[in-house]
Amino acid sequence: MRRITSLRTGLSALLLLGTWATASSLPASAADSPAHSSSEAPASASLLTAMRHDLGLTDAQARSRLAAEKTATAVERRAKRAAGASYGGSWFDPATGRLTVAVTRGANTEAVRATGATVKVVRHSARRLDAAKARIDALSAPAGVGSWYVDPKANKVVVDVVAAHRDDNDVRAFLARARQAGPVTVEETAGAPRTFAAGTVGGDPYYTGNVRCSIGFSVYGGFITAGHCDQHAGAVYGWDHSYIGNFQGSSFPDNDYAWVNVGSGWWTVPVVLGWGTVSDQLVRGSAEAPVGASICRSGSTSHWHCGTVLAKNETVNYSQGAVYQMTKTSVCAEPGDSGGSFISGDQAQGVTSGGWGNCSSGGETWYQPVNEILNRYGLTLHTA
């Protein structure tokens, strides 16, 4: 077992794997965090530091953005109900701090504006765009096609093509079929998506077979993580190579989620590890952040990084097969970060699946939304 040089380090390592159930066992950074009222945005000094570093914001700008994003999350739910069948999607604008809601002609725009949203009239409803994307989902995509998703700003389905393969015959044929599915636009991406599992590296959690991955979020009875991390090798081991539990369910491709039961002295706790970059973050819920909102990721290789939500309900074309209903972010990740936590403020968002690039040169990363995983397996998120 590795030497633990301080109580803080030891607790942090255990907390990543969902240990220490009692409040008295929480690290000081988590236990001493002031409780946030429902009207306050979480804004610890360490979180503000991370947003200043990764998003280029001042402390005041970061505080203002967190508060505006929390408001936008609530507005989005109300505006979608008010728009009804005319709803065309929505996105958060960091420049104005407001949520824009797209609606088709004939919508009750006054009712939507009354929720606090800015309204934009568009040609296609979200229902039509989702139907077009579903038709593309039914196609077989070549390796040169990275992903496709509904872009509410463009009011189209965006197909991302790996730049080096734009002129491949099979890519051209796929794009021709995709354009027949509905309103489609094509964009280029620098790299092909890949998952972020890694070979075993001593001293970092968690291990299964010959793979190291990262914990997502604690649930009652275990934790959730990425499905591609399940090597069907049986036992799952922690940072100290002691037995934690076993995969109780997993899906990959089509989906990229899994859950592991926790036992043998391991416990769960509602904390996301900050890796010394930020204070360990308490998890208080799983309200879904809108497109454009800031978001941060914790993983066992590249640790803590932040960015923004770029797209939702994106289909990602990995070499192992397509994965559906993913969320794309501008946050970087590296091998071993798979399964790790995506969190916005104090709200759990999803588990790291894959992406392209790295944390030196940059890139994009996708996550599987947390609420879908909870609903699929009937799990309850462990919250503070």
**Which residue numbers are catalytic?**
228, 256, 338
Q: Are 324 and 315 in contact (CB under 8 A)?
A: yes
**Which residue, chain included where needed, has tokens 């904390």?**
271
Task: Name which of 352, 348, 344, 255 is nearest 299 in CA terms.
Answer: 352
Q: Are 99 and 116 in contact (CB under 8 A)?
A: yes
206: Cα separation from own chain's centroid: 19
* Tally of helices (H runs) and strands (E runs) in the chain: 8, 23
Its sign, for the CA torsion 262, 265, 266, 267, is: positive
- Measured between alpha carbons, how far is 283 from 377 in angstroms, rounded to an integer? 20
- Measured between alpha carbons, how far is 263 from 246 in angstroms, rounded to an integer? 9
Alpha-carbon separation of residue 63 from 48, 206, 216, 291, 345 (angstroms): 7, 34, 25, 18, 11
Residues forming a β-bridge with 246 = 235
Residues forming a β-bridge with 285 = 347
Per DSSP, the three-state class of 14 is helix
Backbone angles phi, psi at 272, to 5 degrees: -110, 130
In one letter, which amino acid is 166?
R
Q: Which residues contact 204 (CB under 8 A, 6 or more apart)?
A: 212, 239, 300, 301, 336
Q: Are 208 and 220 in contact (CB under 8 A)?
A: no
Helix axes 59-83, 45-55, angle to 10 degrees: 80
